[in-house]
Amino acid sequence: MCDAYTPAGEPIPTNKRHSAAKIFSHPEVAAEEPWYGIEQEYTLLQKDVKWPLGWPQGGYPGPQGPYYCGIGADKAFGRDIVDAHYKACLYAGINISGINGEVMPGQWEFQVGPSVGISAGDELWVARYILERITEIAGVVVSFDPKPIVGDWNGAGAHTNYSTKSTRKEGGFEVIKKLIEKLGHRHKEHIAAYGEGNERRLTGRHETADINTFKWGVADRGASIRVGRDIEKEGKGYFEDRRPASNMDPYVVTSMIAETTILGKQ
């Protein structure tokens, strides 16, 4: 993988890695050793009709409920693709840490991380590329649209789990609260950078917080920021930013979180 520059040596507009690398190389950020775990959701579509895999053409499957982490030919559609992607990522040296079937049938998720700093963006981009190659072989289309099907169906996000050296130490939960407060002050800026079409996903329904609302909670899947029960109990660890869309740029999201929480950009 490489990043691209103009003949004059300037990063091209889509080269978000360049500015992210500046933030991650900042002494204060480097000292905090930011860890990321990114949950990449995606939808597998039938090539000719652009309708989710496993769905009847022009029709709908049964309502959501049995599909999340589901097994069985009537609940999990495309597992051969998902497993092939997982194995290919392991072979390629990607720090892939899991896969699962998602709430909407035909939708899946893989997780990359924990990865430190800029490597989170690097690994996610290559993992996406490998997924595109695997689906190409299978004759299936992969969609990173944050709301591929309108109606009472879950959207697709890229939940970003985050910790620093300070949040992982004893007393880290108090630090987490302060970092979340900083994120709240820049909610609009983060939302603007968290992916295209995200307003179709962040409606306050289907396990999301409304796009105009910032709230956090322990074990709250309807929050902007979620803290795990185990983190509250242990008093240290990480938190999850549930706002990024599935089509987000990981360099933008990860560096922006570090910039806001460590460098205190207002």
Give per-residue pLDDT as tens, 156-188: 999 999 999 999 999 999 999 999 999 999 999
Mean pLDDT, range 205-234, rounded to an integer: 94
pLDDT tens readout for residues 65-101: 999 999 999 999 999 999 999 999 999 999 999 999 9
Q: Alpha carbon 51 to chain centroid distance? A: 23
How does residue 266 score in pLDDT terms, banded at 50, 70 and 90? Answer: low
Q: What pLDDT shows up at residue 15?
A: 96
Average pLDDT, the chain: 96
Q: Are strands 140-143 and 158-163 parallel, antiparallel or unpaired?
A: unpaired
Given a cut of 70, whether residue 147 has pLDDT beyond it is yes
Q: What pLDDT shows up at residue 1?
A: 87
pTM, full prediction: 0.95
Please, how many CA atoms are within 13 Å of residue 11, restricted to the half-sphere of its CB? 12
Q: Crossing angle of helices 119-138/16-24, nearest 10°?
A: 150
Q: Which long-range contacts (CB under 8 A, 24 or more apart) does 62-69 make?
A: 63/152, 64/103, 64/104, 64/105, 64/152, 64/153, 64/154, 67/101, 67/102, 67/103, 67/104, 67/105, 67/107, 68/100, 68/101, 68/102, 68/103, 69/100, 69/101
Please name the amino acid found at residue 52.
P
Given a cut of 80, whether residue 265 has pLDDT beyond it is no
% the chain with pLDDT above 70 = 99
Per DSSP, helices labelled H in the chain are 16-24, 27-32, 79-92, 119-138, 165-168, 172-185, 187-193, 229-234, 250-261
Q: What pLDDT shows up at residue 155?
A: 96
How does residue 116 score in pLDDT terms, banded at 50, 70 and 90? Answer: very high
pLDDT tens readout for residues 228-255: 999 999 999 999 999 999 999 999 999 9
Phi, psi of 25 (to 5 degrees): -90, -5
CA dihedral angle for residue 234, residue 37, residue 99, residue 57, rounded to 10 degrees:
120
How does residue 198 score in pLDDT terms, banded at 50, 70 and 90? Answer: very high
Mean pLDDT, range 221-231, rounded to an integer: 95
